[in-house]
Amino acid sequence: MSLVCLPGEDLSTRIPKENTKTIGYGIARDPDSDVLVARQPGIFKHEGEKCWISVHSKRYVAEKGDRIIGIVTGSAGDFYKLEIGTPENATISFLAFEGATKRNRPDLKIGDVVYAQVMDEFAHADVELTCVDAVSRARGLGVLSGGFLFKVIAIIVCLPLNS
């Protein structure tokens, strides 16, 4: 079972003393109280004789097939540029939307929010996105309207995936 740990949290109740031999990354002994505490925020893991905290402090790197939310930051030619939380921007063709043609292109403005899928990712280059599947259907992808957008840390997003 995965449990979230915060820095300074007492882990002595989570770590079985009888069969744990290795204390790994993210866990340290508090010199004042002589108990094991979390040093990093993350997910507490325990397998066999080892326990550690899985820390997701690295930056997000887009992978093919990921579904992401991007914010339109501009347009260049036949492409829109989107900010998706990676060091590089993402691009999406105006033809990558359901029902889009050269005459019927989507009218995206700066600040619009788009739910898209990563089509290709390249090292040190823009990520390519699409809002249609293999049979040119949106299936929930596209421009999002109404509501609110919140930026959260990556560990919050990973929790449902690990449960």
pLDDT in tens, 19-56: 666 677 778 777 777 788 887 788 888 777 778 887 76
44: domain CATH number is 2.40.50.100
In percent, the amount of the chain with pLDDT more than 70 equals 81
Does residue 73 lie in a domain region? yes
Q: Is there a single domain that holds both residue 36 and residue 75?
A: no
Matching residue, tokens 């040190």: 124
Does residue 8 lie in a domain region? yes
Q: Is there a single domain that holds both residue 139 and residue 71?
A: yes
Q: Is there a single domain that holds both residue 76 and residue 130?
A: yes
Written as six digits, the tokens of 124 are 């040190």
Q: Helix, strand or coil for residue 159?
A: helix
The single-letter code of the amino acid at 130 is: T
End-to-end CA distance of the chain: 8
Does residue 61 lie in a domain region? no
Checking if the pLDDT of 146 tops 90, the result is: no
Q: Is there a single domain that holds both residue 88 and residue 114?
A: yes
Average the pLDDT over each of 17-21, 108-112, 143-147 and give the range with the smallest value.
17-21
Q: Is there a single domain that holds both residue 74 and residue 37?
A: no
DSSP state of 10: B
Residue pair 78/95 in contact by the 8 Å Cβ criterion:
yes
Q: Helix, strand or coil for residue 28?
A: strand
Q: Is there a single domain that holds both residue 81 and residue 28?
A: no
Q: Helix, strand or coil for residue 37?
A: strand
Number of domains in the chain: 2
Give me the domain span that covers residue 12.
Answer: 3-54
Q: How many residues does the chain have?
A: 163
**pLDDT band at 81, cuts 50/70/90?**
very high
129: domain CATH number is 2.40.50.140
For the segment 117-143, what is each residue's pLDDT rounded down to a tens digit? 998 777 667 889 999 988 878 888 999
Last residue of a domain, one of 14, 31, 54: 54
